[in-house]
Structure 1
Amino acid sequence: MEHSGFGKMLDDLLRDAGGPGFFWQLGVLAACLLVAWPLARHVTGRLEARYESSSFSLRLAAVSLERAMFPLIGWLLVLTARFALAPFLSISVLRLALVPLFGISSLYVGFYILRRVLSGNGQLHGMLVLVEKVLTTVVWLGMALYVLGVLSDVMAWMHAVRFSIGGKHDVSLASTLMGVVWILLTVLAAMWFGSWLEERLMRAPSLDSNLKVVLTRIAKALLLLVSLLLSLSLVGIDLTVLSVFGGALGVGLGLGLQKIASNYISGFIILLDRSVKLGDQITVDKYTGIVSQIRTRYTVVRNGDGETLVPNEQLVAQSVQNHSFSGTNVRVATRVQADYAADPETVITLLQDCVRGLPRVLPEPAPAAFLVMFADSGIEYEVAVNIADPQNGKLGVQSAMNRAIWRTFREHGISIPYPQREMRVLAADAASAPPLA
């Protein structure tokens, strides 16, 4: 009986159904899957141990790679069994089983690459879920068309659908889709290799942190450029037409995109001259915090209120106070007034002693106290200490210093003066008397 409505794969399966060879194939398929299960569990366990202490993007990608192990190993075993049994009996069941095993393993491997490329810094990229859904739909649709035997007919129809570009070039729908696929594959491969290179550079102990970021960005930009040029060449697009696009891009940069270009170049300047480094505590404009990231367009400054995105151009064109420029130690100071009746030398000694030994305060350089000025209500003093961990903030140290000063002044009978005002009350008759001539 012919089944013209089905593909050859389903046709062979229906012809073999019920025969002894059909049950032999089912047994071989079950045996292959039973062998693949412990092998996949073993490989999955080793992958989990390897990626346990890795970054967020690697752990997320490893989940897809672990899920790909069972169908991938099963596909390899079934493929081996298919070629081994082909001379002796029909292999319609094994041929059909190879399709979903290969498709599912390819799908999870694709997820692995996508998650390596589109996730990082502890966050999921917004396009990742959408791209995974599109890829899943395309793979399952391709498997269904292949099993039904209409994939070649669909491809022939896509080759027959043609349209012109600019009135000169006549291209088919199939070639257009293949061009898009090639571009996506080469770009993803470049981004994946860039992520792999970034991980290796970030683990290099001999390189400065700023140099690591510079090399990573240059490598990613070059890889992306080469992948785009290669993909355009593979789909048959003349690269000389890009000269027009390059001229338009230059005009756009000169007119509307100058701020973006300025921030991009400023980012490289910051990284190369090392004026601001990762982990530095800086003050720019009204923001003070720790530099946690230096991105292409902006620098992330983290403080107790959250994270501030400062444009890179602002760090180059404006004054920036880098508290960590000369080293990791940062000065923390606080001011206090004491009554005029207190001996200044005694106050200075007490200020130095009371802040010495506080948590996070360095013993060297030793705390220092100064007589700053003679104010209206009392004498103003300043005491300063040094800390080695400015990334943890300065407010906690200042609070500890103020509390220690308050306790010490109370123990030694030194008062912190209030503002003093002198008020004169004139008699009523003197106030109403006429002025002297």
Structure 2
Amino acid sequence: MPDIFTDLLNDLLNNLRAPGLPAQVGLLLLCVGLGWLLARLLRRSFSVSTVQPQAMQIGLGSFSKVLTPIITLLLLILVKLALQKWQQPVNVMRLMIPLVASLALMRFVFYVLRRVFARNSGVGTFLLLFEKSFGVLVWIGLLLYITGWWPDLFDYLDSTVLPIGRYKVSLLAVMQALVSVLVTLVIALWAGAALEERLMRVNTVHSSVRTVVARMARAFLILVAVLLSLSLVGIDLTVLSVFGGALGVALGLGLQKIASSYVSGFVILLERSLAIGDMVGVSTFYGKVVQINSRYTVLQGLDGIDTVVPNEVFMINAVQNYSLTNRILRLATHVMIEHQDDVESILLLLEQVTVEVDRVSREILPQALLMKIGPDGLELEVGFWITDPENGRLNVLSDVNRAIWRVLQSRQIKVAQLKRDIRMVHDAELHKSNFDAYSQQDLPLDRLRDSPKPKNI
């Protein structure tokens, strides 16, 4: 078994006094210093750049952490090639290049995973655990490569056969298949995330259209990645026709609601009937649209509660969109005054006090109306408009009611109260009325006498 590590150590020990060893160490330190300096300059240029959008600056800034090992690796490879051309010893470079390459691989994989799975939220526990496990595997692989056990490990995995039905597959082929599938899927998700970020910065296109294109592009990339990985593994793609037929039957029978919600999501985005930030009401739900996903839409109520509504609900129910054409919303409150009050002056007073309330629109002035003349008083309605329904309706309605109450109290205007007349009837009069009622029904006199007397009211 070739022992690369022993060979390297022997070469290093043999060349400790050779004039080429100090030069290799010096070139190594120079490559590391130049790599760190160039990466720092690039990071500084990314941070001070004002041409790129903020999202791209964040992405480039996080990628700059990968630049140090990558630039150092490239410099080491160039130095190794130059030393070999001049027939100089390269033992130090042969030892350091795999080490720096492993570090660059780990940082690049961590960058891709965080760009795909942790773009909008913090890094989860599972992602951290996966990063640590991947780092351990990389260092173990590096150790196997340096010690010369890497080819032996490949031979062992290739000779280990797993029986799968009528076929026998080597363990190495299974691991290569898993790695190829994972790599292609991660690359597809990374490309989809980058494309989505770029599309979301195109302000000339409606947000719904951008979302639809981004979702369809991501689905297409995932499909291509799956097909490519299966072809790399050696699976015949014609067998997918059977799977497609089974999937169609499953969608037709048990997954109707899910499929309907997915289709409804794309229809909603294409029709532009809903958009992020709209205030909508559907069925018994009301709130602000904060997310439009493929299967569901998230409504954030004014009480802070998020409601996950399937997209199918928006297709089969009437939807009230308070922000489709404009964000202006009319609210109204009622007050009842007495008959002897001056209606005209009170209507004008209510309009003046309402327009002074914060959040009440001054472009469309409030309007006070006499809605009803009833037996209890005069019913007035004060209608006003707001331009920010996402900030709540009850709070501004409460402010208007408080302002109206204060002005009524200051002007000593009484709010009308319900009036009810109560008539007191004596026993004799009530008994006589009952006798007249029974006599009109031709009842026997003895039954009339035995009838219970009503109680006093």
User: TM-score, length-normalised on structure 2?
Assistant: 0.85
Distance 1:165 1:18 in 2: 57
CA displacement 1:148-173 (0-9 Å, x = unmatched): 11111111111111223332x32211
Q: Report the counterpart of residue 170 of structure 2 in structure 1.
A: 172
Structure 1 or 2, whichever has the larger Rg, is: 2
1:220 paired to 2:218: yes
Contact 1:300 1:310 in 2 (8 A): yes
Tell me the amino acid that sits aligned with residue 227 of structure 1: A
Deviation of residue 260 (structure 1)?
1.3
Q: Report the counterpart of residue 34 of structure 1 in structure 2.
A: 33
Distance 2:4 2:194 in 1: 48
Pick closer, same or farther for the CA change 1:383–1:88 going to 2, 3 Å: same
Alignment of 1:194-205 (within 5 A): 194-205=192-203
Structure 1 range deviating more: 218-227 or 379-388: 379-388
Pick closer, same or farther for the CA change 1:40–1:238 going to 2, 3 Å: same
Contact 2:46 2:57 in 1 (8 A): no
Pick closer, same or farther for the CA change 1:377–1:13 going to 2, 3 Å: farther
Question: Gaps spanning 5+ residues in structure 2: where?
Answer: 436-457
Contact 1:62 1:112 in 2 (8 A): no
CA displacement 1:234-292 (0-9 Å, x = unmatched): 12110011112112222222233222111111111111222222221111233211111
Tell me the amino acid that sits aligned with residue 216 of structure 1: A
Structure 1 range deviating more: 42-51 or 87-96: 42-51
CA displacement 1:24-77 (0-9 Å, x = unmatched): 32222122222222222111222334599634x973x55642322222222222
Contact 1:332 1:397 in 2 (8 A): no
CA displacement 1:300-348 (0-9 Å, x = unmatched): 1113322221111111112222112332222222233333332333332
Contact 1:279 1:290 in 2 (8 A): yes
Tell me the amino acid that sits aligned with residue 240 of structure 2: L
Deviation of residue 128 (structure 1)?
2.9
Structure 1 range deviating more: 117-126 or 315-324: 117-126
Question: Gaps spanning 5+ residues in structure 1: where?
Answer: none
Q: Report the counterpart of residue 439 of structure 2 in structure 1.
A: none
Structure 1 range deviating more: 239-248 or 352-361: 352-361
DSSP 3-state at the match of 1:299: strand
Tell me the amino acid that sits aligned with residue 226 of structure 1: V
Which residue of the other structure, out of 69, 73, 76, is the alignment partner of 1:71? 69
1:21 paired to 2:15: no
Pick closer, same or farther for the CA change 1:93–1:422 going to 2, 3 Å: farther
Deviation of residue 352 (structure 1)?
1.8
DSSP 3-state at the match of 2:431: coil
Tell me the amino acid that sits aligned with residue 282 of structure 2: V
1:435 paired to 2:431: yes
Pick closer, same or farther for the CA change 1:74–1:404 going to 2, 3 Å: same
Tell me the amino acid that sits aligned with residue 340 of structure 1: H
Instruction: Give the superposed CA RMSD.
Output: 2.8
Pick closer, same or farther for the CA change 1:142–1:7 going to 2, 3 Å: farther
Q: Report the counterpart of residue 333 of structure 2 in structure 1.
A: 334
Deviation of residue 20 (structure 1)?
4.3
DSSP 3-state at the match of 1:120: coil
Pick closer, same or farther for the CA change 1:252–1:401 going to 2, 3 Å: same
Deviation of residue 202 (structure 1)?
1.2
Contact 1:9 1:149 in 2 (8 A): no
Distance 2:137 2:333 in 1: 65
Deviation of residue 382 (structure 1)?
2.2
Q: Report the counterpart of residue 54 of structure 1 in structure 2.
A: 54
Tell me the amino acid that sits aligned with residue 276 of structure 1: L
Q: Report the counterpart of residue 239 of structure 2 in structure 1.
A: 241
Alignment of 1:134-283 (within 5 A): 134-167=133-166, 169-283=167-281
Distance 2:128 2:375 in 1: 66
Pick closer, same or farther for the CA change 1:237–1:268 going to 2, 3 Å: same
Structure 1 range deviating more: 227-236 or 42-51: 42-51
Q: Aligned pair count?
A: 430
DSSP 3-state at the match of 2:330: strand
Structure 1 range deviating more: 417-426 or 222-231: 417-426
CA displacement 1:82-128 (0-9 Å, x = unmatched): 22223343211111111121111121122221122112334546653
Q: Report the counterpart of residue 288 of structure 2 in structure 1.
A: 290
Q: Report the counterpart of residue 368 of structure 1 in structure 2.
A: 367
Q: Report the counterpart of residue 345 of structure 2 in structure 1.
A: 346
Distance 1:185 1:248 in 2: 27
Distance 2:333 2:307 in 1: 26
Tell me the amino acid that sits aligned with residue 326 of structure 1: T
DSSP 3-state at the match of 1:435: helix
Pick closer, same or farther for the CA change 1:58–1:37 going to 2, 3 Å: closer
Distance 1:286 1:194 in 2: 35
Structure 1 range deviating more: 217-226 or 380-389: 380-389
Contact 2:302 2:390 in 1 (8 A): no
Tell me the amino acid that sits aligned with residue 54 of structure 1: Q
Structure 1 range deviating more: 290-299 or 126-135: 126-135
Contact 2:47 2:57 in 1 (8 A): no
